[in-house]
Structure formats: C-alpha cells, structure tokens
Amino acid sequence: MDEAAYVKAGFLTAITKGEVSSPLVSKAKAAELLGTMQGGYNIEPLINLLDDSELAPIAVKALSHTLLMFDAFYDVEEKAKAGNEFAKQVIQSWADAEWFTSKEKVAEKITVKVFKVTGETNTDDLSPAPDAWSRPDIPVHAKAMLKMERDGIN
C-alpha cells in the first residue's frame, strides 16, 4: 500500500475520533472519505466506527461496498456476533451482494476496440518508468501506455 494512503487514512481517522479538527472536513465527511479508499489502511478505522452511533451508518455504507477486507472480515463478524447491529447490517449486505447488485446493469451491447501488437507486451509497454514513476497514479500510467515505438506500435 502507498505511504500517502497511510497518511490520508491516519488524518481522516484522527478527525473521526476528534483528535484533530478541520474547518473543511467534519467527522461525518472524514468517515465518508475513509469509505472511498476501497481497502487497506481505511478498514480498521471503519470497523471501529461501527461502535460509534453517530458515524456507524456511514461506516456501514462504506464497508458494505468494500471488497478488499481480507482477514478484517472476522473483526466485523465478531462485532456482529457480539450484538453490534451495525456490524450485522454489514454482514447482511455482504451476504446479499449489495456491492454488486447496487451497480448499474451491464449494457446489452458493448462496443470495444481490440488491437493486436507483434511480440510480447510487458509492464514496460504499459507503464514506462520514466513517465509513470508513481505506482498508484493511474492517470499517469494511462498517458504513458504503449508510447514506446516498436513493430506494430507507432
């Protein structure tokens, strides 16, 4: 995981706990932003928020749509078994696959473009290091993909 994600999650968590404050980010907004991180350093703080009656509904919404839980699933399960109603809601949401069923339906027809290049494609073709130095910066990678000329690509 990226160091910036660690710093971001730590700051937002501190706001949710009232350890720091921001004129721009409320406790609720911090919890919501933690929920946008998709997994990693935000998971433990979101699970802890299931015990905060004010912020738990936000944590439920975030965790219900988070797939990268790994062993933290058992932390939510433990809270649910101990009677935490918010944790029970998360478990039920996962059981109902709401993370999937809440998405838009796949279109009946999808138009795509496929191209074939000669030789072997590797990570140097898809994210050349001189242009895409930041691993998590997907827009940088997208701008550099397949920019190196070779047979079939120019």
| pTM as predicted | 0.74
**Residues forming CATH 1.25.40.310 domain(s) in the chain:** 3-101
Locate tokens 């911090």: which residue? 30
| Among 56, 107, 116, 126, CA closest to 85 | 56
Least confident of 50-59, 76-85, 139-148: 139-148
CATH topology of domain 3-101: 1.25.40
| Among 75, 14, 7, CA closest to 37 | 7
CA 115 from centroid of its chain's CA atoms: 30
Least confident of 44-48, 80-84, 137-141: 137-141
